[in-house]
């Protein structure tokens, strides 16, 4: 364009500077703010003018404010119209971004809308596949990014527009065929069910109108759980009805199978009857209560909207009765109509009994009754003598002995099975048992409980084993078929606090690992290399090397078929070993008359470097350094019976 003409146009525009300077428009990041100062003023006109004359390329990316693909005098006019409150010049292009016509979110890809004769009206027929649980998402832009740009979304940020609001806007039901407001400022995506639609954008009114060509089938919603005689099953559910695909209703009956309560949640799909993983199949379709556990529905919640979520949904817990349930998928709420009558839960009697090791877990023996305190009716205590070995127990109420199933009565137990802390909290129900470990060497204990504060205290003549804080190693212990499961099957050692234990044991078929020798309060088993608390017995036979890592809960068992001496003191190129023979009586590996040259040696198992020992002869370590030896003929004894105390002796042969 002729520079003289440009200067003339610029002069005309600046003639309005008095008007423009009176007020400015705060439009940070919006078309027209060419210089990026957060406002649309005459300075932006100057910036476009400088780009046109080639005087300044700094604002070139923002100077095409009308989005027609080039910087011209029309862009100056565009800003001028904004400042005077006129409708800006029409855009040459409008594109739909997002999940439309098979596209995904990409700043360089969009479906172009057809521009009408009046210039500000754009329309197009599109199809949405419903990639996200039956819904697709989209918004708009008047410019696409260069496909090669690494900052595509930033490049088109001033040209994007979409829904007004704080989150995605659902287009369905009453919002169809209704003008919906559009905005450039903090624009949100539109959310729409799968189907074919005509989209019409009016940039003069800044509205979107969506016309369905064939309304999609509404999403199914099912009630899972204990309603209308059903139980929990991923294959079956009570289907709710809908007229608009947003609000779903159902009339249900609950019978209170669980102490007067029933439990339910929701799903948008049921599992295939032939599936072997039904709950996994519908996991993404399930939604329910917003809660850290089951959500108790009480009488004051009747008729109130209760929030729903797909993220870690919980079950609703509701008393037996008849209810009308209404689910709103737009608002993600549940409304329960009906009389919610909290069930009458029988109060436990004031008689509590110890059940466990003391009476072989008898469900009829009531001889270990706790005594109620005269000062505080909520406090009970008992003295127990003749304690030996691991002593396990829970606390049962009188009603357990009259219940159809003893363990469904009122019980006080512990959150962790094998709890051994002498003070702590009780939990209601048949959960974990307390264990006073054998390693405490107790002969009696006194138990005191507070049923109001749900706490317990134990005093005993036994003591928790004291671990020497200066010790270099921690130990865990082996119990298995070889030692009659007594805990005397050997031990594994770990550098203190490392929790990575290793050692050699002689296995007789199966074994497990105990934290405290002879106590099952804390133990580990497992399979396929994975450790599990209270897990299955681990299979092993003969002499094996065991590595158990309690940090990542893994283990390995390596059968030991040979042990030898290797090094340049025996063979210059470390190629062959001097074999050692296992002495089953002493648990040592031995050899006589081994000829060594001056040099280095190590010990290793199975002719492999997977298990090897080095360091000092009186303190061998796994993967230790080479051991320096003098030339001579030696009788060798390698002792690996006690992990953490591995030693070897090289005695000159006579």
The full length of the chain comes to 654
148 burial (CB, 10 Å; 0-12 / 13-18 / 19+) is: exposed
Q: How many CB atoms lie within 10 A of CB 530?
A: 12
Q: For strand 391-397 and strand 352-356, is the pairing parallel, antiparallel, or unpaired?
A: antiparallel
Nearest to 329 by CA among 266, 264, 254: 266
Using one digit for the tens of pLDDT, what is the confidence trace for 359-376? 889 999 999 999 998 888
Concatenated DSSP letters of 201-251: EETTTTEEEEEESSPPPPPP-EEEESSTT--S-SS--EEPEESSSSEEEEE
Task: Answer whether residue 52 shows pLDDT above 50.
Answer: yes
- Would you say 170 and 330 are in contact if contact means Cβ atoms under 8 Å apart? yes
Structure tokens at 96: 């739909």
Nearest to 294 by CA among 429, 449, 132, 453: 429
The helix/strand/coil state of 288 is: strand
| pLDDT of 583 | 86
Q: How many whole angstroms separate alpha carbon 240 and alpha carbon 230?
A: 15
Q: How many whole angstroms separate alpha carbon 204 and alpha carbon 89?
A: 10
Structure tokens at 529: 């290399």
Q: What is the mean pLDDT of residues 332-353?
A: 78
Nearest to 98 by CA among 139, 53, 131: 139
- Would you say 422 and 329 are in contact if contact means Cβ atoms under 8 Å apart? no
The helix/strand/coil state of 83 is: helix
The pLDDT-based confidence of 270 (bands split at 50, 70, 90) is: very high
Q: How many whole angstroms separate alpha carbon 205 and alpha carbon 216?
A: 28
- The CA angle 175-181-183, to the nearest 5 degrees, is 140
Task: Answer whether residue 69 shows pLDDT above 80.
Answer: no
Weakest mean pLDDT among 74-78, 172-176, 253-257, 368-372 = 74-78
Q: How many CB atoms lie within 10 A of CB 72?
A: 17
Q: How many whole angstroms separate alpha carbon 333 and alpha carbon 277?
A: 28
| pLDDT of 94 | 92
Using one digit for the tens of pLDDT, what is the confidence trace for 207-228? 999 998 865 566 789 999 999 9
Q: Give the percent of the chain with pLDDT over 70.
A: 88
Task: Answer whether residue 454 shows pLDDT above 60.
Answer: yes
Q: What is the mean pLDDT of residues 519-538?
A: 90
Alpha helices in 410-527 (DSSP H): none
Q: For strand 316-319 and strand 295-296, is the pairing parallel, antiparallel, or unpaired?
A: parallel
Task: Answer whether residue 25 shows pLDDT above 50.
Answer: no
Structure tokens at 81: 């119209």
| pLDDT of 423 | 92
Q: How many whole angstroms separate alpha carbon 157 and alpha carbon 28?
A: 11
Using one digit for the tens of pLDDT, what is the confidence trace for 226-240? 999 999 999 999 999
Average pLDDT, the chain: 85
Q: What is the mean pLDDT of residues 137-148?
A: 92
The pLDDT-based confidence of 92 (bands split at 50, 70, 90) is: confident
- The Cα-based distances of 152 to 104, 107, 137, 146 in angstroms read 14, 6, 19, 7
Bridge partners (DSSP) of residue 209 are 200
- Would you say 57 and 42 are in contact if contact means Cβ atoms under 8 Å apart? no
Q: How many whole angstroms separate alpha carbon 382 and alpha carbon 360?
A: 17
**Which helix (H) or strand (E) is 326 found in, with range?**
strand 321-328
**φ/ψ of residue 47, rounded to 5:** -65, -40
- Exposed e or buried b per residue across 572-589, where buried means at least 16 C-beta atoms within 10 angstroms of its C-beta: eebeebbebebeeeeebb
The pLDDT-based confidence of 167 (bands split at 50, 70, 90) is: confident
Q: What is the mean pLDDT of residues 391-402?
A: 91
- Would you say 638 and 648 are in contact if contact means Cβ atoms under 8 Å apart? yes
Nearest to 243 by CA among 268, 213, 218: 218
The pLDDT-based confidence of 475 (bands split at 50, 70, 90) is: confident
Task: Answer whether residue 257 shows pLDDT above 70.
Answer: yes
Higher-scoring residue by pLDDT: 642, 393: 393
| pLDDT of 312 | 86
Q: How many CB atoms lie within 10 A of CB 174?
A: 9
Structure tokens at 54: 């080639």
The pLDDT-based confidence of 37 (bands split at 50, 70, 90) is: confident
| pTM across the whole model | 0.37
Weakest mean pLDDT among 14-18, 407-411, 481-485 = 14-18
Concatenated DSSP letters of 626-639: PEEE-SEEEEEEEE
Higher-scoring residue by pLDDT: 532, 90: 532
What share of residues in the chain are helix, strand, coil (percent, to 5)?
10, 40, 45
User: E strands within 273-315?
Assistant: 286-289, 295-296, 306-309
The pLDDT-based confidence of 60 (bands split at 50, 70, 90) is: confident
Q: Domains (ranges, CATH) in the chain?
A: 3-83 (1.10.1330.10), 95-212 (2.60.40.3620), 222-337 (2.60.40.3620), 352-459 (2.60.40.3620), 473-559 (2.60.40.3620), 563-652 (2.60.40.3620)
Residue 642 gets which letter from DSSP?
S
Nearest to 61 by CA among 173, 180, 146, 177: 146
Task: Answer whether residue 283 shows pLDDT above 80.
Answer: yes
Q: Give the percent of the chain with pLDDT over 90.
A: 44
Task: Answer whether residue 68 shows pLDDT above 70.
Answer: no
Q: Three-state SS string across 124-164, please?
A: EEEEECCCECCEEEEEEECCCCCCCCCCHHHHHHHHEEEEC
**Which helix (H) or strand (E) is 266 found in, with range?**
strand 261-267
| pLDDT of 185 | 84
| pLDDT of 587 | 78
The pLDDT-based confidence of 3 (bands split at 50, 70, 90) is: very low
- Would you say 436 and 462 are in contact if contact means Cβ atoms under 8 Å apart? yes
- Exposed e or buried b per residue across 267-299, where buried means at least 16 C-beta atoms within 10 angstroms of its C-beta: bbbbbeeeeeebeebbeebbbbbebeebbebee
Q: How many helices (H) and strands (E) does the chain have?
A: 7, 50
């Amino acid at each position: 364009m002729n520079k003289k003409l440009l200067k003339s146009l610029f002069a005309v525009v600046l003639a309005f500077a008095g008007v423009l300077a009176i007020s400015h428009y705060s439009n940070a990041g919006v078309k027209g703010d060419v210089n990026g100062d957060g406002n649309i003023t005459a300075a932006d006109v100057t910036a476009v003018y400088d780009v046109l004359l080639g005087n300044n390329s700094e604002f070139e990316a923002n100077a095409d404010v009308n989005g027609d693909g080039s910087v011209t005098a029309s862009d100056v006019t565009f800003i001028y119209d904004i400042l005077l409150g006129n409708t800006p010049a029409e855009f040459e292009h409008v594109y739909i971004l997002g999940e439309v016509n098979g596209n995904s979110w990409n700043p360089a890809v969009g479906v172009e809308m057809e521009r009408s004769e009046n210039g500000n009206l754009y329309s197009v027929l599109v199809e949405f596949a419903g990639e996200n649980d039956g819904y697709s998402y989209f918004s708009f832009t008047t410019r696409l990014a260069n496909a090669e740009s690494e900052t595509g979304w930033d490049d088109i940020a001033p040209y994007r527009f979409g829904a007004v609001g704080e989150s995605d806007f659902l287009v369905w039901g009453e919002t169809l065929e209704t003008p919906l407001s559009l905005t450039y400022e903090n624009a949100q995506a539109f959310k729409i069910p799968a189907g074919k639609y005509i989209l019409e954008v009016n940039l003069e009114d800044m509205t979107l109108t969506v016309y369905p060509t064939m309304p999609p089938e509404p999403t199914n919603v099912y009630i899972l759980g204990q309603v209308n005689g059903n139980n929990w099953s991923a294959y079956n559910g009570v289907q709710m009805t809908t007229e608009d695909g947003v609000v779903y209703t159902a009339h249900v009956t609950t019978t209170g199978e669980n102490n007067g309560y029933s439990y339910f949640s929701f799903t948008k799909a049921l599992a295939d009857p032939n599936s072997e993983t039904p709950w996994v199949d519908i996991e993404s379709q399930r939604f329910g209560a917003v809660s850290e556990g089951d959500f108790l529905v009480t009488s004051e919640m009747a008729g109130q909207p209760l929030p729903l979520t797909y993220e870690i949904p919980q079950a609703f817990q509701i008393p037996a009765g008849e209810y009308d349930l209404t689910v709103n998928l737009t608002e993600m709420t549940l409304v329960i109509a009906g009389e919610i009558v909290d069930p009458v839960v029988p109060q436990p009697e004031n008689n509590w009994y110890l059940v466990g090791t003391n009476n072989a877990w008898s469900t009829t023996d009531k001889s270990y009754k706790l005594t109620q305190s005269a000062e505080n009716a909520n406090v009970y205590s008992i003295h127990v003598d003749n304690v030996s070995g691991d002593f396990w127990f829970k606390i049962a109420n009188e009603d357990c002995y009259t219940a159809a199933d003893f363990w469904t009565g009122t019980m006080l137990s512990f959150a962790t099975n094998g709890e051994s802390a002498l003070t702590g909290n009780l939990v209601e129900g048949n959960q974990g048992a307390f264990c006073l470990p054998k390693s405490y060497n107790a002969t009696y204990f006194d138990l005191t409980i507070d049923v109001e504060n749900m706490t317990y205290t134990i005093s005993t003549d036994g003591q928790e084993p004291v671990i020497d804080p200066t010790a270099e190693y921690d130990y865990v212990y082996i119990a298995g078929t070889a030692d009659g499961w007594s805990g005397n099957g050997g031990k594994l050692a770990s550098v203190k606090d490392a929790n990575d234990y290793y050692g050699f044991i002689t296995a007789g078929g199966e074994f497990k690992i105990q934290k405290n020798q002879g106590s099952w309060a804390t133990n580990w088993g497992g399979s396929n290399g994975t450790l599990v608390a209270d897990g299955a017995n681990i299979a092993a036979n003969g002499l094996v090397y065991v590595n158990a890592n309690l940090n990542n809960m893994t283990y390995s068992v390596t059968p030991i078929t040979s042990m030898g001496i290797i090094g340049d003191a025996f063979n210059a190129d470390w190629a062959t070993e001097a074999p050692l023979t296992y002495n089953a009586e002493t648990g040592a590996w031995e050899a006589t008359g081994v000829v060594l040259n001056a040099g280095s040696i190590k010990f290793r198992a199975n002719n492999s470097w997977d298990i090897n020992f080095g360091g000092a002869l009186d303190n061998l370590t796994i993967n230790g350094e080479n051991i320096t030896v003098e030339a001579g003929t030696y009788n060798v004894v390698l002792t690996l019976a006690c992990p953490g105390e591995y030693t070897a002796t090289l005695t000159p042969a006579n």
